[in-house]
A and B are shown apart, each in its own frame.
Chain A
Amino acid sequence: MSILINIAYLLSISLFIFGLKFLGSPRTARKGNLLSMLAMLIAVLVTLLDRQIVDFVYIIAGIILGGLIGTVAAKKVQMTAMPQMVAVFNAFGGLASALVVIAQYLRFPDQTVLSNAVTIPLTLFIGMLTFSGSLMAFAKLQELIKGSPITFSGQKILNFILHLAILMLIVLFVLNPGIDRLYLLLLVLFISGLVGITLVLPIGGADMPVVVALLNSYSGLAAAASGFVIDNYVLIVSGAIVGASGLILTNLMCKAMNRSLMNVLFAAVGQETDPGAAAGKRVVTRYTPVDAAMILENAQSVIIVPGYGLAVAQAQYALQDMVELLQKNGTSVLYAIHPVAGRMPGHMNVLLAEANVPYDLLKDMDEINEEFQTTDVVLVAGANDVINPAAREKGNPLSGMPILQVDQAQSIIVIKRSLSPGFAGVDNGLFYDQKTMMVFGDAKEMLLKIGANLKKE
């Protein structure tokens, strides 16, 4: 029986791997997700066959309750709120792992196996850290607490002490088998919660993509760690794969901002800047939506650079309406998506897909950067730092960050409320470029006006 169960677990693991493989192309991605669902279903059903399980009341109640909440959440959530959603799910995953290992300890408190003595408190640490850190990230993304970095003196020392305390508690736990060690676990639980909070507090709103990806990785590692505790390979393998996935995305996000993970976590970048100070006395070319419409109509090729501001203004639908008119005119239109264009990796693609933009028009930075030179008009809506040429110079916060080479296009239209610098606080020279036309106003309103003026022709 046990062999059959293990073979079924292996099948489940294989299906997870195929599921993720199919996620590599938009054509097969949906099928991939379905395969992962099937894998999970097999893992759950097979577990229920286990001889250890004799009581199904709590299981059925738990699955129904969790399933209902999960379904409602998944159906109701707005696409702009995806990062918060993933943060909350991360939190729950971490919490579940933590609960599992505490319960496992309560069932077998006298276990003296060394490996378990290490993995139980360690899993608890990762799980609780994921839980509290993800909740903090959620609160920041949802703007329940302010998004800018919260720092206080002695933060680093506190962090060090907390980690040291965890280490000591794990050692104490290992060295004292045979006595009631629940109080040690409760201390680990409490301190790990604090570690999660102090980890996320000093991180600014625009760095949240990195943090959400990192916490995603932790939730996987927590699952893998709990697999060590209950000796289950499905947990170990799936958790490890998710851990790896989160690490890759974390790394990609860091690269896209040209920052190290250490810098993101500890440098508290994104303190509120004084927007007035950076704006110089340089001249900008101010255009109306009517002028912009005329320029777009005469263009053969247009690249659109959307930023998160566009999605906040819910302007992606107005944008798509305008683009459809251009396409009817015979203009070729592409979208240039910077890796950090949204609030989580790939977020902007989802927001545009929701507005019916076909995915083959969504180009990532490496694909599109060569095209700018041969493009007539670039339309920038809601993006700033990711197109700032200052990134090519030395000695400013943006230096070295990979940017979209917008300034190489023939002409540039920028829709923006004001000249204020972006998150990094660096004035954007592109706005003062002779070939840049600034259209000042709300993105949605301006795009609607441009669209209206296109229709008249």
Chain B
Amino acid sequence: MDGTIIISIYVFVLAIFAGFELITRVPPLLHTPLMSGANAISGITVVGALIIAGAGDSGLSVILGFLAIVFATINVVGGFLVTDRMLEMFKKEERKK
């Protein structure tokens, strides 16, 4: 087995632990924005799609890459914007005292 896969697995497992630590601290109040924001982050696949669509190959792989860019970008842009729209609505009470 090649070495890079082992490092990748290390990185993956450590990132899962980091994710658990981070997300456990998010209060239930913000769980919906958390979910749509995390959802947008999962659109990071767009990075893979860019490499494929821009490789200068011809044929099916470029078309698949293009479609992947479209779907991943919808995921990223839509996810972040709708999260921002929600977070904008969360306001603190204005105390009149």
Contacts and interface: CB of A to CB of B under 8 A. Distances in A.
Contacts of A233: 8, 11
A268 to B, nearest CB: 25
Contact of B82 (A37, A55, A77): A77
Nearest to A253: B31
Contact of B19 (A25, A115, A212, A245): A245
A52 to B, nearest CB: 6
Interface string B18-42: 1110111111111111111111111
A52 B48 contact: no
Given A55-B55, A100-B52, A36 B30 contact: no
A53 B51 contact: yes
Contacts of B41: 16, 36, 40, 220, 238, 241-242
A304 to B, nearest CB: 15
Contacts of B30: 23-24, 26, 29, 346, 349
Contact of A55 (B13, B56, B93): B56
Contact of B23 (A20, A58, A231): A20
Contacts of A21: 22, 25
A153 interface: no
Instruction: Give the residue among B8, B16, B47 with the most A Cβ atoms within 10 A.
Output: B47
- Report the interface size class on chain B: 35 or more
A89 B23 contact: no
A249 B35 contact: yes
Contacts of B37: 19-20, 23, 32-33, 36
Contacts of A4: none
A239 B82 contact: no
Contact of A239 (B44, B55, B94): B44
Given A24-B25, A115-B1, A232-B48, A100 B65 contact: yes
Contacts of B11: 233, 236-237, 240
A352 B43 CA distance: 28
A166 B8 CA distance: 24
A96 B49 contact: yes
Contacts of B86: 79, 82, 350, 353
A56 B69 CA distance: 12
B55 to A, nearest CB: 6
Contact of A245 (B23, B47, B59, B84): B23
Contact of B45 (A82, A223, A339, A360): A223
Contact of A29 (B68, B87, B92): B87
B43 to A, nearest CB: 5
B4 A231 contact: yes
A375 interface: no
Given A55-B55, A62-B68, A92-B71, 18 more contacts: A24-B22, A30-B84, A36-B41, A43-B44, A47-B51, A48-B50, A66-B70, A73-B74, A92-B43, A96-B49, A99-B49, A100-B65, A227-B8, A242-B38, A344-B32, A353-B90, A359-B90, A364-B27
15 contacts: A29-B33, A43-B47, A48-B50, A58-B53, A66-B69, A92-B75, A97-B48, A106-B61, A114-B1, A228-B12, A240-B13, A246-B35, A248-B23, A353-B91, A358-B94
Interface of B: 1-2, 4-5, 8, 11-13, 15-20, 22-57, 59-62, 64-94
> Which 10 residue pairs spanning A and B have beta carbons closest together?
A66-B73, A244-B19, A346-B31, A62-B69, A70-B78, A70-B77, A358-B93, A53-B54, A74-B81, A240-B15
